[in-house]
Structure 1
Amino acid sequence: MTDSKEGRGDVRIYSCIDDLTTKLAEYISDLSDKSVKERGCFSIALSGRSTVNFIWKLTGAPYMITVDWTKWRVFFADERAVAKTHPESNYKLTKDEFLSKVPIPSSNVCSINDNLEIGAAAHEYQFTIRQHVKSHKVAASVATDCPRFDLILLELGPDGHVASLFPGHAALCVYHDWVTHIVDSPRPPPERITFTMPVINSACNVAIVAVEDDKADAVRFAVGPIDESVVACLSPARMVDPVDGRLVWFLDSGAASKLD
């Protein structure tokens, strides 16, 4: 059962994770169809290791046939500074659990160069995204001069972080770059590359997933009525507010348990 609430985005609450993953697959498939019809392609940015666990139903019926996978352009909203073969790599998990099971051309997957030091890798990744904007594979936001991804899919951390943007971190204040890097992540590994908040807020659609009781406080700070003067340091997720797009929350009953 779904309980949809308006306010800090469209908040959708599901009684179990199976229902959530079913509806998330439908949501992504619908956005893909719409984007392909309107622009001829679908640009999606994935974030974190757990988001892949929520989209696995796209690898089965009916989506293997109904989704035009050849039109997908896949990006990473954040990545750990490890080799692509490393168990901590977002790319490795995404490839093993999703990309290897759907017919997206490998040339349509834009991963981060793991042969460069982290600053250079972030710079190169930003350049790669710029090339996709120039070729119209990723739309451009007139309002923000940032890429306008069709969908950025994020997971909410128990501390309120999204992508690799953590509470109180200086990376939250990077406004002029599309991609930045950090060397002191409070969660291992310490070196990471991440989209900046302006890029997230320039997306056509942002979906944030949170499940289980340990996310309940983070969901409350991100969605509920909180003093805005202090919330930014408590919850980067609270800063997610698309300029000209839509924000949707996919929550299970545990994550939503502290909402009014």
Structure 2
Amino acid sequence: MATSCEAKKKGELRIFESSVELATDLAEYVAQLSEISVKERGCFTIALSGGSLINLLGKLCEAPYNKTLDWTKWYVFWADERAVAKNHAESNYKQTKEGFLSKVSILNSHVYSINDNVTVEEAASEYEFTIRQLVKVRTIAVSEANDCPKFDLILLSMGPDGHVASLFPNHPTLELKEEWVTYITDSPKPPPERITFTLPVINSASNVALVVTGEEKAAAVRIATNNSIEELDSSLMLPAQRVQPIEGKLMWFLDKGAASALEASTDGFGHT
């Protein structure tokens, strides 16, 4: 069974005894958002990260979702990507293609991967241009608060250091305000070159879900979900702490290990 806590702000924690339970609930969550978005807007825009997150989406490839979801209305993006060839073992696209996209009926023309034949700087610029064009035609909604793209869902994982997408602690990219997509050449995790959504884009989404598994991330989870220190200077906050949707909803999906450092009643969170 999952334990659910609702934040005083816009977040909710869901804690699961096993990865199977987490994956089952995550699939239902994504499916519901997909159905709502397709009904209201005629499409569903989702941005993904790599890692174990993709494996946890496997339930969407099974019944009933593989038959009931309107996959042709899905538009798929990456919140971050490694600047490697699409067939490279480190490619988020490759992992997503093999573990998810190839098993459902999402149109190839609705899958927006980065250009792997140019420099990482050019790849980031081209990816932002693509997103801007889709915002113009309202395939991707636009935030009324800041004119950023308003994805229906951004799915993120988190590292033991509290990084999300390819936004790492104490990195200058965390302070970018105008760019939608940026690049780094000095990632502390290999490969060093990556593109990533900026915080304004992540925080403009209608829904943001952080999916975190493993006891090695428990300390970062405890810090990132502690809303009692919201007055802290943003420069001292973990990247995951700075995921605070302006108008949207924030959801945490945690397995038992990732939640192991949380108090029974977390600061800033109350049991529902």
- Normalised TM-score (structure 1): 0.97
Which residue, 204, 215, 221 being the options, matches 1:219?
221
Contact 1:52 1:98 in 2 (8 A): yes
Q: 2:246 aligns with which of 243, 246, 250?
A: 243
Alignment RMSD, CA only?
1.2
Matched residue SS, 2:13: strand
Which residue of 2 is the match for residue 140 of structure 1?
A: 142
In the alignment, what sits opposite 1:150?
152
2:194 and 2:167 map into 1 onto residues whose CA distance is: 10
Quote the Cα distance in structure 2 between the aligned partners of 1:107 and 1:152: 20
User: Aligned partner of 1:253: which letter?
Assistant: K
Q: Deviations over 1:32-69 (max 9, x none)?
A: 00000000000000012221011011001000111000
For 1:88 and 1:58, how far apart are their aligned partners in 2? 23
Q: What is residue 253 of structure 1 aligned with on the other side? A: 256
- TM-fit CA distance, 1:234: 4.7
Q: Which residue in the other structure is 1:46 paired with? A: 48
Do the aligned residues in 2 keep the contact of 1:224 with 1:259 (CA within 8 Å)?
no
Give me the whole-angstrom Cα distance separating, in 2, the residues matched to 1:230 and 1:33.
Answer: 38
Q: In the alignment, which residue of structure 2 is the partner of 1:58?
A: 60
* Letter matched to residue 23 of structure 2: T
Amino acid at match of 1:256: A
What's the CA shift for 1:21?
0.2
**2:113 aligned to 106, 111, 114, which one?**
111
Cα distance in 1 for partners of 2:233, 2:255 equals 26
Aligned-residue sequence identity (percent) comes to 60
Deviation string 1:68-109 (CA, Å, 9 cap, x unpaired) is 000000000000010101100000110011111111010000
2:75 matched residue in structure 1: 73
Cα deviations by residue, 1:113-139 (Å, 9 ceiling, x for unpaired): 001111111000000001111121110
Give the conservation status (yes or no) of the 8 Å contact 1:221–1:231: no
Residues 163-191 of structure 1: CA deviation (Å, up to 9, x unaligned): 00001001101110000000000100000
Indicate conservation of the 8 Å contact 2:50/2:95, yes or no.
Answer: no
SS at structure 2 position matched to 1:209 = strand
Residues 183/171 of structure 1: CA separation in 2 closer, same or farther (3 Å cut): same
Q: Distance in 2 between matches of 1:98 and 1:232?
A: 36
Q: Tell me how far apart the structure 1 counterparts of residues 234 and 50 of structure 2 sit (CA, whole Å).
A: 23
- Rounded to whole Å, the distance in 2 between the matches of 1:247 and 1:227 is 17
> 1:231 Cα deviation (Å)?
6.6
Is the contact between residue 5 and residue 12 of structure 1 (CA under 8 Å) also seen in structure 2? yes
Q: How many Å apart are 1:258 and its aligned residue?
A: 0.9
**Structure 1 stretches (4+) deviating beyond 6 angstroms?**
none
Q: Which amino acid aligns with 2:200?
A: P
Partner of 2:5: 5
Does the 8 Å CA contact 1:160/1:237 hold for their aligned counterparts? Answer: yes
CA drift at 1:254: 1.0
2:223 counterpart letter in structure 1: F
Q: Summarize the alignment of residues 172-191 of structure 1 with structure 2, pairs less than 5 Å apart.
A: 172-191=174-193
Is the partner of 2:169 in helix, strand or coil? coil
Determine the structure 2 residue equivalent to 1:31: 33
Unmatched segments (≥5 aa) in structure 2: 264-272
CA contact (8 A) 1:32 1:42 kept: yes
The answer as to whether partners of 1:216 and 1:256 remain within 8 angstroms in 2 is yes
Give the conservation status (yes or no) of the 8 Å contact 1:201–1:243.
yes
Name the aligned partner's letter for residue 238 of structure 1. Answer: Q
